[in-house]
Structure 1
Amino acid sequence: MSRVLVGVKRVIDYAVKIRVKPDKSGVVTDGVKHSMNPFDEIAVEEAVRMKEKKIVQEVIAVSCGPAQAQETLRTALAMGADRGIHVEVSGSEYETLQPYHVSKILAKIAQDEKVDLVILGKQAIDDDNNQTAQMLAGVLDWPAATFASKVEPGSGSLTVTREVDGGLEVIKVKLPAVISADLRLNEPRYATLPNIMKAKKKPIKKFTPKDLGVNTAPKIEIVSVEEPPARQAGSIVPDVDTLIAKLKESGHI
């Protein structure tokens, strides 16, 4: 393999308590800490390990989003990616950017860069859609290995262990292919200070969806975003008999 493309998304940090906007059009993002999507960190780590093992020659990180997405790209470069591609999407266009659009953007870049493999996180922790990798494979007509917990390179192929509802499934896919990374694929490294400094000098190309011939008109309308209902406070009971009596009273049994 010569090149691997890795998708990295800027999301609200996993430790931040999400707040819904008063008009219920979305969640509050202004002044909120953002970081790289955790599953995308795993995808970057896997690609960088492949490069370290000389399985691939170059790792390209790509991010779709506002100007701040370059910070996420710099994190990927500090982890070991060689160069970045920033597809700038901002304002209302970014708020309605959907996996369908991202898959089209990534497909065009994958073709232009002549990559052999695309690795994405299985889902982003903001929208939890788990759609982009599958849609990308469909657009490119490449085999997909989703929810990967182990990737073993072969001659012109990859053997991938997938995490499925019933346990583990092992499949073999021919290259070029699309992989989505699951939680147990690896433990992402921390970027060291020297590598953070080096990342500042690595190149980042900038495009817009229009440059890539992708129409970002929304396919889905978000009607309302609401917080889940508050959980009722629990209570402590002295014994099992009291518990059963209370469950009967409340109609749960």
Structure 2
Amino acid sequence: MKIAVCMKQVPATSQGDMDKKTGVMIRSGLQAIVNVYDLAALEAALRIKEQCGGVIHVFTMGPDKAEMVLREAFAMGADEGYLICDKAFAGADVLATSYTLTQAIKSVDDYDMILCGRQTTDGDTAQVSGAIAEWMQIPRVNWVTGIEVKNSERLKVEYCMEHRMVTASVMLPCLLSVERNCFPPRMPSLKLKISGRKKIIHRITLNDLNDQNPEHYGLKGSATRVKRIYPPERTSKQELVYMEKEKAAVYIADILKEILEGESVC
């Protein structure tokens, strides 16, 4: 089983600023971590490898410092790591990011399965995985909670749909986006962490891709532009009130009465 896992380095904080000219988040100076949802995808890949054997290749797109994502993946058990790094890829939206990842994955091998996390903590679009599957024209399933390899051609997959669980038979090759809570990542191995420091990280640039047209990547290949970013409004601190049930009922009733009277005035 040949498995590709897509992982990303994200800012460790929800605070950030934007380049007003390009509409791209300014990441310099922000502490970086591995996207927690992607660690679940790697864990799912490791469980599949333990079940039926195979190799796990991790792909991450970002600057040089994104190598830390691959080093952490090595410490957990990944076999190979690929850093997709080129100035031409900078500032990519969902469309350009998914296309770049697709081209990079195709440039390395034909994989039986591609695993992704549900979303990233910086963009929160949850659209890149589906877009990769569309570029590759392969089946995809989101919100996956369980994976069982039936044979070399088919998987049994459990996933969440609305308020019920669904079981499906999925043909290989396919792409699965897994749920974080169902695949809690294992602790990195000290032995693997030490050996992972010596592993070669493969670099993928624009010149390594089949499509080398720079108009299809980065800002030039993006269909959207960010006009403004801002943190969500924080709720103001409220006084915590303790009282007996009868007094509490009167207190709540008075508040509701004020609200209803205010709405009637409007």
TM-score above 0.5, yes or no: yes
Aligned residues: 247
Q: Give % identity.
A: 22
1:17-49: CA deviation from partner (whole Å, max 9, x where unpaired)? 413359594545222221111110000111112
Map residues 54-203 of structure 1 onto 2, 5 A cutoff. 55-90=52-87, 93-94=89-90, 96-112=91-107, 113-155=109-151, 156-203=153-200
Q: Give the conservation status (yes or no) of the 8 Å contact 2:84–2:104.
A: no
TM-score, scaled relative to structure 2: 0.84
Cα offset for 1:232?
Answer: 4.1
1:102-146: CA deviation from partner (whole Å, max 9, x where unpaired)? 322332343341111000111111000111111111111110011
TM-score, scaled relative to structure 1: 0.88
Q: Give the conservation status (yes or no) of the 8 Å contact 2:19–2:26.
A: no
Q: Aligned partners of 1:117 and 1:44: how far apart in 2?
A: 12
Residue aligning to 2:260: 248
Work out which of the two has the higher radius of gyration on C-alpha atoms and give 1 or 2.
2
Residue of 7, 15, 19 corresponding to 2:16 = 19
Q: Aligned partners of 1:97 and 1:23: how far apart in 2?
A: 15
| Unpaired stretches in structure 1, ≥5 consecutive residues | none
Residue aligning to 2:9: 10
Residue aligning to 1:38: 36
Q: Aligned partners of 1:29 and 1:250: how far apart in 2?
A: 45
Map residues 212-227 of structure 1 onto 2, 5 A cutoff. 212=209, 213=211, 215-216=216-217, 217=220, 218-227=222-231
Q: Aligned partners of 1:192 and 1:246: how far apart in 2?
A: 59
Q: Aligned partners of 2:193 and 2:258: how far apart in 1?
A: 58
- RMSD over aligned CA atoms reads 2.4
Higher helix share: 2
Residue aligning to 2:245: none
Q: Aligned partners of 2:105 and 2:24: how far apart in 1?
A: 31
| Unpaired stretches in structure 2, ≥5 consecutive residues | 242-247
1:208 correspondence with 2:210: no
Cα offset for 1:228?
Answer: 2.7
